[in-house]
């Protein structure tokens, strides 16, 4: 199981449910208690640079579209908090799914990895749930997974920034209001949480740059 086994529960509210998982979910905070949505597949990556804070990238494919989240993870209680929401990923093709299918589960590795960056990945569909870890990838299949994760994170960060900008323009800058594109269950977050979320979005850029630097430098952290 992924080291941070409680993370799926902690991510749930950001996706509008108690716990992130496959199947039917009742929408949190919805006026209609029977309002539901279905998650058909999902994946979550925990990215852990050796000397910098870890980050979380999560994607859920639902019957109403794809939603995603990228956020720095730090301290307890776990991030993301109640002010963070997964954002819609319209017209986005998930690159991780084909990359994961090509993974060699028995790679021949002749190097000892020191420091660098490590990844923990959880994937889940109706038929199968899987967890695996790797660090400082060398094999082509794992390099493809790492690059798919990086490209996905860039797309999610851009979507988050655009979403917050659009919502801010639809309000008085203090928080979500009726009349914006937010659903009823999302309007409960309020002004203080909206401002906190804006700060989280700003942190994502720095977090992503750190990740990219570690990925680029990972080969320097191996010795024969």
pTM (whole model) above 0.85 = no
What token pair was written down for 125?
Answer: 């569909």
Per-residue pLDDT tens digits for 131-180: 989 988 888 899 999 999 999 999 998 998 888 777 666 655 545 454 45
Q: Domain map of the chain by residue range?
A: 7-218
Residue 224 confidence (pLDDT) above 50: no
- φ/ψ (deg, to 5) at 12: -50, -55
CB 14 within 8 A of CB 86: yes
Contact call for residues 150 and 211 (beta carbons, < 8 A): yes
């Amino acid at each position: 199981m992924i080291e941070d086994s409680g993370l799926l529960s902690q991510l749930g509210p950001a996706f509008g449910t108690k716990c992130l998982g496959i199947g039917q979910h009742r929408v949190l905070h919805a006026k209609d208690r029977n309002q539901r949505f279905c998650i058909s597949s999902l994946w979550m990556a925990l990215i852990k640079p050796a000397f910098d804070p870890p980050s979380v990238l999560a994607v859920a494919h639902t019957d109403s579209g794809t939603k995603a989240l990228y956020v720095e993870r730090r301290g307890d209680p776990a991030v993301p908090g109640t002010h963070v929401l997964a954002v819609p990923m319209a017209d986005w093709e998930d690159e991780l799914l084909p990359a994961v299918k090509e993974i060699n589960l028995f790679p021949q590795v002749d190097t000892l990895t020191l420091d660098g960056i490590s990844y923990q990945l959880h994937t889940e569909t109706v038929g199968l749930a899987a967890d695996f870890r790797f660090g400082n990838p060398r094999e082509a299949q794992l390099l493809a997974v790492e690059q798919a994760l990086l490209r996905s994170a860039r797309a999610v960060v851009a979507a988050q920034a655009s979403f917050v900008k659009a919502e801010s323009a639809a309000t008085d800058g203090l928080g979500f209001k009726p009349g914006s594109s937010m659903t009823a269950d999302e309007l409960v977050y309020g002004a203080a949480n909206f401002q906190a979320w804006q700060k989280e979005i700003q942190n994502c850029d720095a977090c992503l740059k750190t990740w990219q630097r570690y990925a680029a430098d990972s080969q320097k952290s191996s010795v024969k």
